C-alpha cells in the first residue's frame, strides 16, 4: 500500500525542512542569483548573444506596436464620440 501525496504536500514538507535548517529564504528558484561554478553559470557564446539581442529588439518592436495600437484605439473612440460633420442638436427658442 502506497501513501500518495500531492506535489503541494511534498513542497510544503521540503520547505519546512529547509526552514528548520535555516536554508529557506522564500525566493523562487529563478530569483536566486547564479553563483560561480554553478551548473546555471553558463558562459555566453556569440550565437547566444546574437539571439538575446534579436529577442530584445523584437520585444521592443512589439512594445512599440502595442503603444501605437492603444493610441489608435483611443483616437477611434474620440472620433466615434465626436464624428466629423455631425450636426449639433437643434435648439428651439424658449418662449
Question: Do the beta carbons of residue 41 and residue 35 sit within 8 Å?
Answer: yes
pLDDT tens digits for range 52-91: 999 999 999 999 999 988 777 677 666 666 555 555 555 5
Q: Where are the domains of the chain?
A: 7-78
> What's the sign of the alpha-carbon dihedral 63, 64, 67, 69?
negative
Angle at 48 between CA 47 and CA 54, to 5 degrees: 90
pLDDT at 2: 66
46: its cell numbers: 556569440
pLDDT at 61: 96
d(CA 24, CA 31): 13
Amino acid at each position: 500500500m502506497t501513501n500518495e501525496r500531492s506535489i503541494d504536500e511534498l513542497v510544503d514538507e521540503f520547505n519546512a525542512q529547509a526552514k528548520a535548517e535555516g536554508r529557506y529564504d522564500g525566493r523562487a528558484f529563478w530569483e536566486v542569483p547564479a553563483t560561480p561554478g554553478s551548473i546555471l553559470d553558463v558562459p555566453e557564446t556569440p550565437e547566444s548573444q546574437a539571439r538575446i539581442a534579436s529577442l530584445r529588439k523584437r520585444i521592443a518592436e512589439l512594445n512599440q506596436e502595442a503603444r501605437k495600437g492603444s493610441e489608435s484605439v483611443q483616437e477611434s473612440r474620440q472620433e466615434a464620440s465626436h464624428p466629423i460633420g455631425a450636426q449639433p442638436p437643434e435648439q428651439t427658442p424658449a418662449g
